């Protein structure tokens, strides 16, 4: 039992999270090991792994040869500054080619009949220049006489800069020794004597006749230099051992030593991290999708992707990551500034973790599918095969229909072929008659199927209109669409049953609420009456008087709740009369605020009404009054004490809109749309007065009048919006318009009187309640 419990713990979510976290940590360790290895070996190739001696590396040979190139350039080619400044080192062909390239001069007739003199300041003309090229010749001659000498000075200055840079580089070396001698063996340049160079172990000698390479014990590519090979000089060079601090040779040696010392540690750490990574991966594959060994497999959303598409997406992401990683590495190792190197390194790490996450997700998805034995089914090939097979099962489309269409095409082809074969004899008439009869018969079957489809479409249209009693005669339906017709008939039966059940339930609910409300109202009236009688009695016991006061408050509250319940039942069932008239939205709101002025002052609220001009809406005055009363009551009950309430009234093209905004005293930590449901109140403790029906009644009354009622919440800001249709004046002839205006004015006065009566009745009821 203990063993079984221990095994089951491995499938707990906590263990899975720990394994996934450890897997990503090991992936990061491997990443950092790779980053460190790439950083310390960025200037090295394969030799950092294969060579144990620094002097056998290709990188040392490359540095030695590039340094020797500088020495040859300075002491063999240029020789001295004096020779450069005198112009003896000017390459005529290179100078003239550069000049023509710099000024976009193209060789042609002019350059072919002319030659630049040896002083580079004039032209020597051979033959005659065509008259049509005189202007071009003059322009070319001007460039040679004025610009070429300047370009020659620039060319010489570039040579001087190269020479001086090479000399400065050679003077800064501490481990490189060389000297240059002529054919007679006289040393003409260098930074060491023949004896110093000969005493070194790693040397090289180069001349036009032969070369000697003792730079390392291993054979690498030889050194060659065209300047030395075309001269009578011999160059001897060597590198010191051991190396001294102070130049590029020593820095390269230090990089080699650091890389050699770091590689064993990096190898051990990365190997251990890789082993832990694989252990975590195997564990996650084993427990993926299960909460117990052998238990049911729980699939994720990613498992619904077809395996071919999933593999393609993972492959595309991998290719994208590979090329993106190469780009980032190039910036990090070779071209990045220090700050940007850290930025690109962070991006590379994020890309690496994303690759690990995508790969792990794909592997675990395969594991879940293999355990659930749905790997083969969740492929496009299997889905296509099942779809094709379903054509012959009758569930979606009868498979034999495909065979019928194929037979129709083959029959026509056969008959047409026979007509062509016997066109020269009278038999073609027989086959032509068969062709016509065959197509007429097929047309009859096709029209019959279309007639069946038409009946099905009519049935579907009647169902969409709500006519659930329409019956579809299945006996008249073609076999091709029989399954479709049966589905339509089943939909009709299902909708009919659902509608009957819904109507029955709504009727029972409405009757229950109405009956219970009426049954409660009768005894409650008696309770209220007897409480009023007790209030008139002289009760000497003060405790008894307090009890009577509590009874009076609670009985009136219960009475109000029952009245709201009855009204909510009537409104939801549509059992209310609506008499629309022309109503001033602003005036109605101001009167509602005035009626509730005492309660507003008790709640310490300040109302701000914004309505620059009257807004006339088409609505029922009594219902609009009840909507405003419920909204104001809701604001008074649940607003923060001492806050402001803003009411904005404006109109659009077709609607008049009232927006009431207040700050809630308690946090609105639930879905605001629930406030328009029945028996839902703004305080979860339900300690305030109210039935939870006010906003629901307001919404129902607004919808009955053809308007809308909505609620919006932004933090603790509560906003209620009532939108009603604008009053539209009837359009007719001039006389009729005047009559309609008079009637509308009378209707307005009548509406105002009726509204005043309504308001006064509500005010009297309110005063009676307050007095009682």
Arithmetic mean of pLDDT over the chain: 80
Global pTM value: 0.46
Segment (H or E) for 234: strand 234-239
Domain 577-771 class?
A: alpha beta
Residue range 76-88: average pLDDT?
A: 88
Q: Token digits for 326?
A: 């190469």
| pLDDT for 335 | 62
Given a cut of 50, whether residue 498 has pLDDT beyond it is: yes
| pLDDT for 4 | 46
DSSP sequence for 638-705: HBPTT-EEEEEEEE-SSEEEEEEEEEBSS---S-GGGGGSTT--S-TT--SS--S-HHHHHHHHHHHT
Residue range 126-140: average pLDDT?
A: 87
Given a cut of 60, whether residue 715 has pLDDT beyond it is: yes
How far apart are the C-alpha atoms of 758 and 744, rounded to whole Å?
20
Residue range 508-519: average pLDDT?
A: 67
Q: Greater confidence, 346 or 676?
A: 346
| pLDDT for 477 | 74
**Locate tokens 């590519």: which residue?**
221
DSSP sequence for 488-524: HHHHHHHHHHHHHHHHHHHHHHHHHHHHHHHHHHHHH
Given a cut of 90, whether residue 52 has pLDDT beyond it is: no
Q: How confident is the model at residue 757 (pLDDT cuts 50, 70, 90)?
A: very low
| pLDDT for 519 | 66
Q: How confident is the model at residue 760 (pLDDT cuts 50, 70, 90)?
A: very low
Total residue count of the chain as it appears in this document: 772
Kindly list the domain boundaries of the chain, sorted by start residue: 86-166, 296-390, 395-575, 577-771
| pLDDT for 676 | 52
Neighbours of 550 (CB within 10 A): 11
The CA distances from residue 166 to 14, 139, 288, in Å, are 66, 39, 66
Greatest mean pLDDT among 80-84, 546-550, 692-696, 767-771 lies in: 80-84
How far apart are the C-alpha atoms of 259 and 675, rounded to whole Å?
70
| pLDDT for 703 | 83
**Locate tokens 């009890």: which residue?**
547
Given a cut of 80, whether residue 693 has pLDDT beyond it is: no
| pLDDT for 574 | 59
Given a cut of 60, whether residue 253 has pLDDT beyond it is: yes
The CA distances from residue 178 to 166, 173, 190, 240, 346, in Å, are 14, 11, 5, 11, 46
**Cβ(695)–Cβ(565) below 8 Å:** no
**Cβ(298)–Cβ(40) below 8 Å:** no
| pLDDT for 770 | 37
Which stretches does DSSP call E strand in 59-184?
Answer: 114-116, 123-125, 176-181
DSSP sequence for 335-394: I--HHHHHHHHHHHHHHHHHHHHHHHHHHHHHHHHHHTT-TTTSSHHHHHHHHHHHTTTT
**Locate tokens 């252990």: which residue?**
279
């Amino acid at each position: 039992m203990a063993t079984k419990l221990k095994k089951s713990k491995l499938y707990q979510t906590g263990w899975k999270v720990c394994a996934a976290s450890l897997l990503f940590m090991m992936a990061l360790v491997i990443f950092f090991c790779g980053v460190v290895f790439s950083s310390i070996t960025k200037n090295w190739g394969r030799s950092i792994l294969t060579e144990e001696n620094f002097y056998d590396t290709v990188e040392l040979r490359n540095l030695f040869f590039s340094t020797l190139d500088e020495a040859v350039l300075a002491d063999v080619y240029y020789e001295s500054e004096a020779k450069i400044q005198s112009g003896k080192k000017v390459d005529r062909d290179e100078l003239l080619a550069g000049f023509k390239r710099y000024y976009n001069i193209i060789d042609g007739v002019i350059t072919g009949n002319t030659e630049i003199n040896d002083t580079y300041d004039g032209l020597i003309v051979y033959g005659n220049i065509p008259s049509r090229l005189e202007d071009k010749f003059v322009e070319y001659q001007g460039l040679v006489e004025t610009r070429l000498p300047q370009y020659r000075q620039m060319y010489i200055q570039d040579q001087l800069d190269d020479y001086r840079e090479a000399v400065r580089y050679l003077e800064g070396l501490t481990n490189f020794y060389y000297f240059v001698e002529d054919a007679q063996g006289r040393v003409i340049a260098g930074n060491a004597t023949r004896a110093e160079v000969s005493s070194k172990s790693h040397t090289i000698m180069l001349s036009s006749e032969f070369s000697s390479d003792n730079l390392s014990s291993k054979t690498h590519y030889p050194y060659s230099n065209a300047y030395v090979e075309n001269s009578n000089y011999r160059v001897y060079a060597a590198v010191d051992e051991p190396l001294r601090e102070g130049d590029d040779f020593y820095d390269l040696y230090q990089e080699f030593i650091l890389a050699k010392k770091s590689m064993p540690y990096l190898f051990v750490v990365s190997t251990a991290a890789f082993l832990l990574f694989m252990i975590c991966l195997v564990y996650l594959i084993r427990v993926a999708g299960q909460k117990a060994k052998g238990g049911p497999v729980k699939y994720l959303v990613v498992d619904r992707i077809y395996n071919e598409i999933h593999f393609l997406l993972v492959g595309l992401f991998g290719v994208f990551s590979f090329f993106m990683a190469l780009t980032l590495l190039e910036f990090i190792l070779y071209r990045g500034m220090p700050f940007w190197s850290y930025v690109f390194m962070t991006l590379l790490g994020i890309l690496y973790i994303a690759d690990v996450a995508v790969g792990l997700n794909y592997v675990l998805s395969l594991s879940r599918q293999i355990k659930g034995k749905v790997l083969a089914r969740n492929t496009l090939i299997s889905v296509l095969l099942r779809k094709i097979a379903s054509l012959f099962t009758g569930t979606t489309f009868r498979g034999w229909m495909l065979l019928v269409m194929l037979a129709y095409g083959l029959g026509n082809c056969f008959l047409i072929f026979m007509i062509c074969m016997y066109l020269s004899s009278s038999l073609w008439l027989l086959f032509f008659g068969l062709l016509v009869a065959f197509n007429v018969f097929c047309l009859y079957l096709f029209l019959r199927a279309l007639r069946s489809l038409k009946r099905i479409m009519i049935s579907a249209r009647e169902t969409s209109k709500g006519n659930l009693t329409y019956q579809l005669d299945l006996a008249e339906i073609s076999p091709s669409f029989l399954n479709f017709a049966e589905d339509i008939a089943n939909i009709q039966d299902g909708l009919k049953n659902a509608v009957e059940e819904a109507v029955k339930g709504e009727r029972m609910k409405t009757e229950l609420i109405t009956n219970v409300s009426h049954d409660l109202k009768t005894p409650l009236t008696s309770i209220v009456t007897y409480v009023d009688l007790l209030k008139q009695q002289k009760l000497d016991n003060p405790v008894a008087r307090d009890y009577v006061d509590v009874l009076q408050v609670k009985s009136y509250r219960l009475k109000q709740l029952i009245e709201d319940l009855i009204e909510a039942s009537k409104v939801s069932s549509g059992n209310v009369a609506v008499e629309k008239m022309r109503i001033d939205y602003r005036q109605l709101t101001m009167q509602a605020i005035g009626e509730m002025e005492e309660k507003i002052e008790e709640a310490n609220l300040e109302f701000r009404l914004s309505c620059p001009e009257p807004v006339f809406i088409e609505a029922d005055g009594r219902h609009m009054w009840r909507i405003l009363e419920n909204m104001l009551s809701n604001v008074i009950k649940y607003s923060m004490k001492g806050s402001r309430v803003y009411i904005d009234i404006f109109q659009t093209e077709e609607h008049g809109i009232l927006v009431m905004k207040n700050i809630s005293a308690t946090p609105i930590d639930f879905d605001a749309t629930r406030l328009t449901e029945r028996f839902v109140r703004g305080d979860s403790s339900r300690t305030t007065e109210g039935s939870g029906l006010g906003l629901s009644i307001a919404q129902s009354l607004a919808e009955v009048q053809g308007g809308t009622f909505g609620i919006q919440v932004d933090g603790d800001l509560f906003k209620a919006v009532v939108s009603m249709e604008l009053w539209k004046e009837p359009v007719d002839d001039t006389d009729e318009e005047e009559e309609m205006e008079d009637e509308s004015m009378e209707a307005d006065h009548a509406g105002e009187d009726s509204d005043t009566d309504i308001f006064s009745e509500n005010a009297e009821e309110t005063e009676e309640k307050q007095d009682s």
